[in-house]
Amino acid sequence: MKIAIAILNWNGKKLLQRFLPSVIENSPEARVLVIDNASGDGSQDYIRKNHPEIRLIQLDDNYGYAGGYNRGLKKIDTDLICLLNNDVLVKKNWLLPIIEHFKAYTNTAIVQPHIKDLNQPDYFEYAGAAGGFIDRLGYPYCDGRVFQSLEKDDGQYDQDKKIFWASGACFFIRKVKFETLGGFDEDFFAHMEEIDLCWRAFNQNLDVYSLYQTKVYHLGGGTLGLSPQKTYLNFRNSLFLLLKNLPEKRLIRIIERMVWDGVAIFFFIFRLQFKNAIAVVRAHFSFYKSFTKMMTKKKKQPLKTTYFSVKSLPLNNLFTKRGKIFNH
């Protein structure tokens, strides 16, 4: 089974200097590639001079996460592809449990390892933790992370588990499934495009797994607070997710979600985060503008209604004891 590790990069020279050597050293089973979104910081020269063994796929513009991978993966011909962030540390033999799982379970389309916090290795990391889920209104959460609350890894998730979505920070997928599912939706640009792809896989009865025997360490930035642009993308793309993947008889949930978004606006105002409040409003207007386009993307195959195990993540979080993450 041939495997490639595709690292998407945009102006991440310092991160490549720090993390790429561990990927090369600890991944003898794979071919390592860098897809560069037209960086202007010398990333391409660094790779050519210091890692000539690495294949560099140069793009002519910054196409974001979705567009960058869609274009780059067309030039890769392997059975499996690992989409790996440029700020992830990996360790010896990390690929072996994942390769064995794909060999043994032919219905598995997508896999993620457990993702730990590089700065606090005993804790799960924001971007994926031990595997992702969504609630009825499309709010994403993980085993090991709900909103900004992170759990310490005490072995409570030490089992391979079927999940709803896998983290884009370390995302394994069969190349043929990436193609048949249609790749990432480039209208998302960045944030939540992996959830959309996993939801499409779910609607086609394909499995997504989190595998506990492999652990990677992500520098990340999810716990550093929301920028207005990230707030905008997260709120807009959540609405895109629901519109694209819910059956039409369940689209009323979009209105419910927008009510909660209104609560978020007041929350941001109360905390004097006015730019984030404006970003939510912008996200709604962008959603209205793209409504017809997104409706045309709904697939003709049946869209499942049993995609959630928690009805309301905000309500559940309100009534959860501080410092303790609920079980689902």
Q: Is 8 helix (H, G, I), strand (E, B) or coil?
A: strand
Helix H or strand E segment including 80:
strand 80-84
Tell whether 237 is covered by a domain.
yes
Better pLDDT: 84 or 139: 84
The CATH number that applies at residue 113 is 3.90.550.10
Condensed to tens digits (0 to 9), the pLDDT of residues 103-121 reads 999 999 999 999 999 999 9
Query: What percent of the chain is predicted at pLDDT more than 90?
Result: 81
Beta pairing partners, 161: 210
Question: 73 and 113: one domain?
Answer: yes
- Residue 235: closest CA among 304, 140, 115, 94: 140
Provide the pLDDT for residue 223: 38
From residue 78, give the alpha-carbon distance in Å to each of 144, 220, 325. 32, 27, 39
Distance CA 9, CA 264 (A): 32
Average pLDDT over residues 299-325: 67
- Residue 207: closest CA among 319, 104, 77, 124: 104
- Residue 58: closest CA among 28, 91, 34: 34
Residue 321 has pLDDT above 60, yes or no: no
Number of domains in the chain: 2
Question: 174 and 307: one domain?
Answer: no
Q: Cβ distance 155 to 197 under 8 Å? A: no
From residue 3, give the alpha-carbon distance in Å to each of 29, 77, 95, 189. 7, 9, 9, 25
Condensed to tens digits (0 to 9), the pLDDT of residues 225-272 reads 568 998 999 999 999 999 999 888 888 899 999 999 999 999 999 999
Give the sign of the dihedral formed by CA 193, CA 20, CA 151, CA 82. positive
Question: 190 and 245: one domain?
Answer: no
Helix H or strand E segment including 142:
strand 140-142
pLDDT band at 100 (very low <50, low <70, confident <90, very high): very high
Helix, strand, coil share of the chain (percent; to 5): 40, 20, 40
Q: How far is CA 108 from the centre of its chain?
A: 17
- Residue 218: closest CA among 93, 86, 323: 86
Condensed to tens digits (0 to 9), the pLDDT of residues 185-212 reads 999 988 899 999 999 999 999 999 999 9
Question: 302 and 265: one domain?
Answer: yes
Q: Among 192, 224, 256, which residue terminates a domain?
A: 224
Question: 116 and 205: one domain?
Answer: yes
Condensed to tens digits (0 to 9), the pLDDT of residues 48-93 reads 999 999 999 999 999 999 999 999 999 999 999 999 999 999 999 9
Provide the pLDDT for residue 297: 86
From residue 131, give the alpha-carbon distance in Å to each of 115, 161, 166, 253, 301. 8, 8, 6, 24, 26
Q: Cβ distance 88 to 95 under 8 Å? A: no
Provide the pLDDT for residue 322: 43
Tell whether 325 is covered by a domain.
no
Distance CA 252, CA 273 (A): 29
Question: 44 and 147: one domain?
Answer: yes
Question: 219 and 239: one domain?
Answer: no
Distance CA 83, CA 72 (A): 11
pLDDT band at 224 (very low <50, low <70, confident <90, very high): very low
Q: Is 305 exposed, middle or buried (CB count within 10 Å of its CB: 0-12, 13-18, 19+)?
A: exposed
Residue-range definition of the domain harbouring residue 259: 228-318
Q: Is 184 helix (H, G, I), strand (E, B) or coil?
A: coil
Question: 216 and 73: one domain?
Answer: yes
Condensed to tens digits (0 to 9), the pLDDT of residues 140-161 reads 999 999 888 899 999 999 999 9
Q: Among 224, 239, 263, which residue terminates a domain?
A: 224
Q: Cβ distance 131 to 166 under 8 Å? A: yes
Question: 209 and 134: one domain?
Answer: yes
Q: Cβ distance 134 to 202 under 8 Å? A: no
Q: What is the pTM of this model?
A: 0.91
Average pLDDT over residues 174-191: 94
Q: Identity (one letter) of the amino acid at 210?
A: S
